Structure 1
Amino acid sequence: MTVLIVESNPHLAGVWSRHIERCGRRVMVAHSQEQAINVLQRTPVSIILLNVMLDEGSAIAVADYTSYRFPKVKVLFVTAANFFSDGSIFNHVANACAFMPVSTPPDDLAAMVEHYAARD
């Protein structure tokens, strides 16, 4: 199973990546919408860990592209903002499976990735 992490902060993406790799998963990292779409076009992924607030591009566009091209791939959203804190992201993004604060401990994020990826 390959996990795609889409996070603008390289340090944070690296921390998440190491924790997920410890679970035996292959991890690809993208830092923008464009990079994420490029990865999706050439690498099959099982789940995406996606920050709602990307520095370059739109997380919603990444989720929409994924939903259209790969409808079984789930997206686990993380954010540091209060945007979508009411849970409305689930109304806007069909393949959203979870919405967590960016401050969630990396081991917990890895466990969530494992949980949702195992459901396929």
Structure 2
Amino acid sequence: MRVLIVQSKTELGALWARHLERLQATVTVVETGDDALVLLQKQSFDVIVLDLVLREGSALTVADFANFNQPRANVVFVTDTTFFSDGSIFSHSANARAFVETGTPPSDLAAIVHHYGNSASRDGRAAGAF
């Protein structure tokens, strides 16, 4: 399972990555939306963990580009704000699969990501299987 984490807070992205690596995921961490867009042009991912509020770039742009370029990649949005707390993120992002708080325990986030990564692989929908 290949996972892209887009998280402006370096330490938090690294923490999430360690938990996912324990579940045998191959993880790439970037801090900006622009870095994520570059990677999405070069590599395939099963799951994208995407902070809704990035310091640089737009999370919705990243999700939209992923939906266009890698339509089988599942997006797990995380946030520490109340934006989209009504669940409307699922209307704005066709590839959104989950929406959780940034403070979610890393092991719980890893379990969510693992679920969506494995379900994509079981369904033959891995990001590389266009």
Q: Give the TM-score normalised by structure 2.
A: 0.91
Alignment length (residue pairs): 120
Q: Which runs of 4+ in 1 moved over 4 A?
A: none
Moved more, 33-42 or 103-112: 33-42
In 1: Cα distance, 2:119 partner to 2:22 partner: 19
Task: Determine the structure 1 residue equivalent to 2:67.
Answer: 67
Give the letter aligned to residue 59 of structure 2. Answer: A
CA contact (8 A) 1:52 1:78 kept: yes
Q: Which runs of 5+ in 1 are unaligned?
A: none
SS at match of 2:119: coil
The answer for unaligned runs of 5 or more in structure 2 is 121-130
Contact 2:63–2:95 (Cα < 8 Å) also in 1: yes
User: 2:6 is matched with which residue?
Assistant: 6
Deviations 1:54-80 (A, max 9, x none): 000000000000001111111000000
Aligned CA-pair RMSD: 0.6
Amino acid in structure 1 at the alignment position of 2:33: Q
Give me the whole-angstrom Cα distance separating, in 1, the residues matched to 2:9 and 2:117: 23
Per the alignment, residue 123 of structure 2 pairs with none
How does the TM-score come out when normalised to structure 1? Answer: 0.98
> SS in structure 2 opposite 1:114?
helix
Tell me how far apart the structure 2 counterparts of residues 109 and 54 of structure 1 sit (CA, whole Å): 18
Q: Which amino acid in the other structure matches residue 97 of structure 1?
A: R
